[in-house]
Amino acid sequence: LCYLDHAGATLYSEKQLANIFTDLSNNIYSNPHSHSSEFTKDAVDIVRYKVLSFVKTSPDQYSVIFTSGATHALKLIGETFEFNGGTLAYLEDNHTSVLGMRKFASNFRELKVEEAFNVLSNPADSNSELRNGKNGLFVYPAQSNFAGTKYPLSWIKTVKCEALNHLFATPENWYTLLDAACFASTNQLDLHQYQPDFISISFYKIFGYPTGLGALLVKRSSENALTKTYFGGGTVLMALSAQNVMIPKPIIYEQFEDGTISFLSISSLRHGFDILQTLNLTPDLISLHTFNVAKYTFANLMEMHHSNGTAVAELYHDTKFESVKTQGSIINFNLKRPNGNYVGYSEVKFATVLHFANLNGVHLRTGCFCNPGACQKYLKLDPDKVQNQFEAGHVCGDQHDLVDGSPTGSVRISFGYMSTFEDAD
């Protein structure tokens, strides 16, 4: 078995699972809303602290809100952020779940990658009197889940310094939502050095198990930018049945975690953190190892040619893997035939990527990886071409890999801390 889809979900270890189920066998975790649940509450609090420690911050600076995943975290911000007529701005290289946030904003603006680098290199002159109470929200990934590009975390500061006001007639008070789901799986997120207002993360991308669990990290000083309307069980101090009266709990994670949290999954996270510590694996070590494996693979793919001299692979990348600071452990490509035609990733015959991989026990990912902007950018798919592919029958997630000879998606391989150079070969 060769597992090359760590950006989709990394692998859990046998020791990790053994420790989890030993814990569950030896202890009783009751519903944290029950009076007899102090053991469960303490276990959850320990994990909250471990999450904050993992990203180099503390409860004084950030709150941890457990969610069903990174998408849920993004949705929560979309639902509760007080735009007040302000703008949702986002990088074109973003997850589909970020695009879905447009439904909550009156105005939205996509920034192309080159534009973002230009605009966010120059802070604007602050003029708070002209903002008129508008709040802007900029959303971008710390690392692209398409090509592994690492975007500057320094943008967080320049956004706060209102660099994006260069683009708008009316200045806005800007906040940053950092999607760290892909980045945090193999890199050190340092919230002591870089302090976005909101961060989304996913735990199965870091530990492999459990799935269905993520977190929204909220900077304490930015909590007042969020207003929650719906309230569920466990989030209130008092509610009246016959009247529209409710008093929320004072702590933000108590307000936002509607209903019973996934307390068994949360308690199992402790063993994910512990296994990394047992193996002496820091995020920085994981980052360097996975980068080197990916760099080796990238170089090999670049050197592969058919007998007539044409390239075997068309690679999609912004860097040439010169530095771990700008490139993660993801490689994205399409294969090509000697005559230059593309190899469809899901054609049902031996020569195709997906079929060949399945026959040989290789796990990889194909398609657009829930990142329409990056997919359309790298594959040079303008809106008309995307519409034509849709009318020809292609939809997200299908196996319709070529339309008129052009690819509708690509192949992605990605590495985790347990990946080896043998996997790359």
What is the three-class DSSP state of 347?
coil
Q: Which pLDDT value is given to residue 246?
A: 96
Q: Which pLDDT value is given to residue 349?
A: 34
Q: Which pLDDT value is given to residue 129?
A: 56
What is the three-class DSSP state of 143?
strand
- In single-letter form, the type of residue at position 20 comes to I
Taking the CA atoms of the chain, what radius of gyration do you get in angstroms?
A: 23
Q: Are 81 and 225 in contact (CB under 8 A)?
A: yes
Q: Which pLDDT value is given to residue 91?
A: 98
Please list the rounded mean pLDDT of every run of 10 residues in the chain (425 residues): 94 97 97 92 97 98 99 98 97 98 96 97 66 90 98 97 91 97 98 98 98 98 97 97 97 97 98 95 97 98 96 96 98 95 68 58 88 95 84 78 87 96 91
396: annotated active-site residue: no
Q: Measuring CA to CA, how many Å separate 318 from each of 150, 280, 330?
A: 10, 32, 12
Name the H helices within 261-339: 263-278, 283-303
Distance, in Å, from the CA atom of 186 to the CA atom of 393, rounded to the nearest integer, reads 36
Q: Exactly one of 182, 370, 375, 396 is catalytic; which is it?
A: 370
Q: Which domains does the chain have, with CATH numbers?
A: 13-278 (3.40.640.10), 283-424 (3.90.1150)
Q: Measuring CA to CA, how many Å separate 2 from each of 67, 308, 315, 318?
A: 31, 30, 21, 26
Q: Which pLDDT value is given to residue 170?
A: 87
**Any idea which residue has 């302000």 for tokens?**
86
Q: Which pLDDT value is given to residue 346?
A: 76
- Tokens for 378? 């790298």
Dihedral in degrees, nearest 10, Cα atoms 296, 298, 299, 305: 130
Distance, in Å, from the CA atom of 192 to the CA atom of 94, rounded to the nearest integer, reads 24
What is the three-class DSSP state of 37?
coil
Q: Which pLDDT value is given to residue 127?
A: 59
Q: Measuring CA to CA, how many Å separate 202 from each of 227, 230, 320?
A: 23, 23, 27
Q: Which pLDDT value is given to residue 244?
A: 96
The whole-model pTM stands at: 0.94
